[in-house]
Amino acid sequence: MNPSPAAPGSQASLREANRLRVLDALREQGAMTQVEIAGSTGLSPATVSNMVKELDAAGAVELAPSIRNGRRAVLVSLATGNTLLAGIAFGDRDVRVAIATGPRDIVGRHRMPLPASHNADEGMERASRLLYDLVDKSGKTMSDVKAVGVGIPAPVDSVTGQVGSESILPGWRGIDVGDEMRARLGAPVVIDNTSNLGALGELRCGALQGVSDGAYIKLSYGVGAGLVLGGEIFRGSAGTAGEIGHLTIDENGPICRCGNRGCLETFIGSPALTDALMGSHGRLTLRDIIANALEGDMGCRRVLEDAGRHLGVAVAGLVNLLNPEVVVVGGQLAQVGDIILEPMRRALDRSAIPSATASLDVRLSDLLTGADVVGAVVAAETLHAANDNLLVTIASTS
């Protein structure tokens, strides 16, 4: 039987809340002195001192001598043991980096914006800088990072390791991202599409746990899908499966960046949404549209509802082909919840085979905008385990 939780307002409840505040501060800001923790959390120095003692005794934090303002101090950081993993997820307009001891234990994370037309060198340089900074703040060095998972928002050719389309993410064309990042970071690196990593994150830690056949739909500046078949990520013969954003839903529709007409992305990608609102709202960002819709703006809600309807038509094709148990919707636009999900479900009911939708569960992502980063950490963990097993095998045969 599980122990009963502490009653709200009790001393035990207050102590647990304070402990979580200290851990959250260390997770967000990296290693700090107790004085800095007190300033960050608003807790008294005495309370912080007691919390640090308890956390240290429990093995949840690590203490290391340091110098602050010319005086000796003790740095407090989250315990990482001997294994530190990293996840990097590139977007069309940003890069997000996390370090972790495992997929469920993110030690620190950070985000940096990127120009819309950034090239590979610029993106990789910023990502490397973020990762080095996070590792330093955790009180570790890059030698402690055992593996890095990296996601890019484009198909990744499983044979060459390069972007599998010349028209999607053109600034990364011809670049072997794995080799480049290994050289910059000095750590083993595994590369995948961010939608695949989003599916992997949800499969391990989110809304696809226990699901044998499912799909993860990432809605952001563009749209992509990660497919799960037989409990494993399905990448296709060359690693480019899941490009639902470039599924044609209107052969007479707008020209897409991939060169085709009427792709799903031309109807629900960020440019389509912002252009639809230009006449009534002026130039908005995707973040503006999301915030306005959640505050009740009818115009912003309408374009997102239309996006949900188009998405439902496209996903109906996927449902008819693969008959998944679960479809998970994540990414930035998942933050609006039922504004997109309800019209998507209605379009699915109209367009998919009734027997396929009867057993289908459409869910909101548990990890929202963080699924791909978590998936990158999962990929890093798998790579590290494989490398460890290889070393053991070599040692046993030598």
Residues 353 and 350: their CA atoms lie apart, in Å, by 8
Residue 332 vs residue 172, higher pLDDT: 332
Mean pLDDT of 205-233: 95
Reported as a single tens digit per residue, the pLDDT across 97-128 is 999 988 888 888 999 998 877 888 999 999 99
DSSP string covering 161-204: -SBS-SSSSGGGTT--HHHHHHHHHSS-EEEEEHHHHHHHHHHH
DSSP class of 318: H
- Angle, helix 286-294 to helix 270-281, in steps of 10 degrees: 70
Residues 217 and 203: their CA atoms lie apart, in Å, by 13
Radius of gyration of the chain (CA): 23
Q: Is the dihedral of CA 141, 142, 147, 153 positive or negative?
A: positive
Reported as a single tens digit per residue, the pLDDT across 270-317 is 999 999 999 999 999 999 999 999 999 999 999 999 999 999 999 999
Collect all residues with Cβ–Cβ distance below 8 Å to 36 and sequence separation of at least 6: none
Length of the chain as a residue count: 398
Tokens of 90: 């590139």
Right CATH for 84-196 from 2.30.30.60, 3.30.420.40, 1.10.630.10, 3.40.50.1370: 3.30.420.40
Confidence at residue 395, expressed as pLDDT on a 0 to 100 scale = 39
Reported as a single tens digit per residue, the pLDDT across 12-65 is 778 878 888 888 888 777 778 899 899 989 999 999 999 999 888 877 788 888
Residues 95 and 113: their CA atoms lie apart, in Å, by 6
Q: What band does 379 get if pLDDT is binned at 50, 70 and 90?
A: very high
pLDDT score of 231 more than 90: yes
Reported as a single tens digit per residue, the pLDDT across 149-193 is 999 988 888 777 777 666 677 778 888 899 999 999 999 999 999
Q: Into which CATH architecture does domain 11-78 fall?
A: Orthogonal Bundle (1.10)
Same topology between domain 84-196 and domain 209-365 = yes
Residues 129 and 140: their CA atoms lie apart, in Å, by 15
The least confident of 18-22, 220-224, 246-250, 297-301 is: 18-22
Confidence at residue 10, expressed as pLDDT on a 0 to 100 scale = 63
CB 348 within 8 A of CB 312: yes
Mean pLDDT of 330-347: 96
- Determine which helix (DSSP H) or strand (DSSP E) holds 217, and give its type and residue range: strand 214-219
Domain boundaries, given as residue ranges, for the chain = 11-78, 84-196, 209-365
Supply the CATH classification number for the domain 209-365: 3.30.420.40
